[in-house]
Amino acid sequence: MIIAKFVSDICLKISNFLLIVSRKVFKSDMDILHQKWVLDQGDKTLRINYNLDENSIIFDLGGYEGQWASDIFSKYCCTIHIFEPIEEFANNLQRRFKNNRRIIVHNFGLANETKKIQISVNKDSSSIHKKGMKMQSIFLYNVYDFLNENNIQKIDLMKINIEGAEYDLLEFLIKIGYIPNIINIQIQFHDFIPNAYERRNKIQESLRSSHKLTYEYPFIWENWEKI
């Protein structure tokens, strides 16, 4: 028994060692793509550099801590609507931007329909498409109703990072014909949704009728600019 346990422990250590080595030597495509994104300084350049000014209207879907919104405002002094459905995050955002009247924090998300739904709260990975230890009820608002009620005819930049809910939202915006009214669409697609690759391909095909792809790091970040 002692010998068998010793052999088992040795085999386990060897297996773990080989796993670590293989991960370092044979990086996944996503690891390589993410490394390229970091080397290209995408968060500091591609996600920030746009043709915007103080008259521009920005939608930040999935505000979380508000760093992207802060960076955009610092550069362009534009009007920014932040949509953050998790109460704790929204309260933090409201405190962070309380002295800035041009950054408006909404404690709800935009979606293809108005409803209350459960979300798994896990920092910037919070998602309505995941189950977790901490679940919370949130409010989603029909994007069509929000745009009409606020008479928003054009959005200069819409950033979408909503952990899997981007598919329903974009498909709905395409369906109602509002997509051509958005000058730039910055999207982070997520692959843990059923049929994610097929749905992303169909959305991209629809976007090509009115927009061009300006950069693409699949399932990291991509941007579509109106033609």
Give the C-alpha separation, 221 to 215, whole Å: 8
Beta-bridge mates of residue 57: 79
What tens digit of pLDDT does each residue of 47-80 get?
Answer: 999 999 999 999 999 999 999 999 999 999 999 9
pTM of the predicted structure, to 2 decimals: 0.85
3-state secondary structure of 40: coil
| Contacts of 115 by beta carbon, 8 Å cutoff, 6+ apart | 139, 140
Give pLDDT, residue 61.
Answer: 98
pLDDT band with cut points at 50, 70 and 90 for residue 21 = very low
Q: Express each pLDDT in 123-163 by its tens digit.
A: 877 887 778 788 889 999 999 999 999 999 999 999 999 98
Measured from the Cβ of residue 44, the count of other Cβ atoms closer than 10 Å reads: 10
Strands of 107-210, DSSP E: 109-111, 115-120, 135-142, 155-160, 182-187
CB half-sphere exposure, 74, CA atoms < 13 A: 8
Return the CA Rg of the chain: 21
